[in-house]
Chains A and B, each alone.
Chain A
Amino acid sequence: MTDTAALMPRRREMHPDPYYPDYKTSITRSPSLPLLSMESTPSEETGPRFGHNKLGALDNNLICNYTQGKALAVGERIRVHGRVLDELGRPVPHTLVEIWQANAGGRYRHIKDTYFAPLDPNFGGCGRTITDENGYYEFMTIRPGAYPWPNRANDWRPMHIHFSIFGHAFGQRLISQMYFQGDPLIDLCPIAATIRNRSQLDRLVAPLDMQNSRGMDYLAYKFDIVLRGRRQTMFENKPEGM
């Protein structure tokens, strides 16, 4: 069954400013002309679906998926979990959630990362899972370290995990970042500051979740994600003006 109702328009004012000079790379990579806005069409209302057959048993466990369980990554063991909902508060079931992150020292396993903090031989840094019928997901990983980046002379990214979420429609496609409660670098970060509405930025900060932590094993952080909803369709097929 494919729901074909139009998507609710994106509230762009609740998203980051595309042009934010303190984040230097955005200066030359943001369109200077207005976006072309219109109601969504089938191209945005449909989207790819991925089944469980694509996933391996360790795909959502970054502590051991790089070695396929032969050795464990170094760092603070954490569980990151939450729900994917739409703007109407309905769960988004069976949708792909992908994450990537630096290791405990703030180093990425990427050919272009030359930071001198060492790689962890047992940590890759990518994971993926599919939400269950209630829109719920979880990952096991290690808490990523903060790292410096070439923006202003002494800029450091707060600890963060990158998230990529599909939803059920190409127009719901979203990439964002999860931050950690209490990290003092959040307030200094020009990428976090691209979000002008502080309460929106706060929604990217995952709280410590002791109730879902496990003694002698891992701490938990809760991170819920909201995707665009669809308009109600009761009056959809009437001619205009009726």
Chain B
Amino acid sequence: MTQPLDILVETPSQTAGPYVHIGCIPTFAGVEGVYPEDLGLSPIEDGAKGEVITIVGSIYDGTGWAMRDAMLESWQADAAGVYPGQDGADAKVSGFCRFAADKDSGEFTLRTVKPGAVKGRNGQVFAPHISLWIVARGINIGLNTRIYFEDEDNSADPLLARIEQRPRVDTLIAKNTGDGTYRFDIRLQGEGETVFLDL
């Protein structure tokens, strides 16, 4: 026998289920009047520095069907690459947004400012990106991925550099469709499967 390690184990995940909106986006579920407003309606306030952009996309299951019941959360730095809570962060950027795939079309929309490049440990610099967390019925543990931008220099990004199959890098790159709008589709499984992260 040995001494026990003084480490607990993380609580295991379970699927958010089909009714995740009741708890996280109550007005989407039709639950009104409990909270004054849903949490995380926008990651920015008026006056946030930087370029305002809109990201539109869908989440496709393994059959190519756009999911109607997914919930997404995004987390990002401000236009200078500083996260909320860090010194010098833009006070108009909360950085967090919660949104749902549309119940009829399955399309989601995220309106925010384009984040700046982020400095990590040991001199690492990450190209501008937005972190995404996706939960839904059928997803047993939330899926993490990132949105990068095709009109930024992603060539030295340490995370993208670790993707062995280079064509898969493209699954993390949002496409500029003009007028400050980007398209970012997520494929859970099969051809063109999005790279999901464990970090």
B-contacting residues of A (Cβ < 8 Å)?
A: 2, 6-7, 9-12, 14-18, 20, 23-33, 35-44, 46-50, 54, 56, 59, 65-66, 68, 85-89, 96, 98-100, 108-113, 124-128, 162, 164, 170-171, 173-177, 191-192, 194-195, 197, 200-201, 203-204, 225-229, 236-237
Contacts and interface: CB of A to CB of B under 8 A. Distances in A.
Interface of B: 6-24, 26, 29-31, 33-36, 39-40, 61-63, 65, 67, 69, 73, 75-77, 83-86, 94-96, 103, 118-122, 124, 126, 129, 131, 133, 135-144, 146, 158-159, 162-163, 188-190, 193-199
Given A48-B84, A162-B16, A170-B131, A126 B193 contact: no
B139 A226 contact: no
A35 to B, nearest CB: 4
B13 A174 contact: yes
A33 B193 contact: yes
A56 B37 CA distance: 11
Nearest to A5: B121
Which label, helix, strand, loop or mixed, suits the secondary structure of the A interface?
loop
A44 to B, nearest CB: 6
A35 B198 contact: yes
Contact of B62 (A27, A40, A174, A226): A27
Closest 9 CB pairs of A and B: A100-B23, A25-B138, A29-B138, A48-B96, A16-B140, A28-B62, A35-B198, A46-B83, A100-B22
Nearest to A233: B121
A66 B189 contact: no
A162 B30 contact: no
B18 A56 contact: no
Nearest to B131: A43
A236 B39 CA distance: 36
A162 B17 contact: yes
Contact of A113 (B19, B119, B122, B126): B19
A165 B87 CA distance: 25
Which label, helix, strand, loop or mixed, suits the secondary structure of the B interface?
loop
A61 to B, nearest CB: 10
A179 B119 CA distance: 42
21 contacts: A12-B141, A14-B12, A27-B62, A29-B61, A29-B138, A36-B159, A39-B199, A43-B83, A48-B84, A88-B6, A98-B24, A100-B19, A100-B23, A111-B29, A124-B22, A125-B31, A128-B39, A162-B14, A162-B23, A175-B13, A227-B11
Given A16-B141, A31-B189, A227 B199 contact: no
Contacts of A201: 12
Given A31-B189, A226-B8, A44 B199 contact: yes
Interface centre among B29, B34, B120, B163 (most CB of A within 10 A): B34
A78 to B, nearest CB: 17
A82 B67 CA distance: 34
A173 B76 CA distance: 14
B31 A109 contact: yes
A108 B12 contact: no
Contact of B199 (A41, A126, A226): A41
A192 B12 CA distance: 10
Nearest to B6: A89
A109 B29 contact: yes
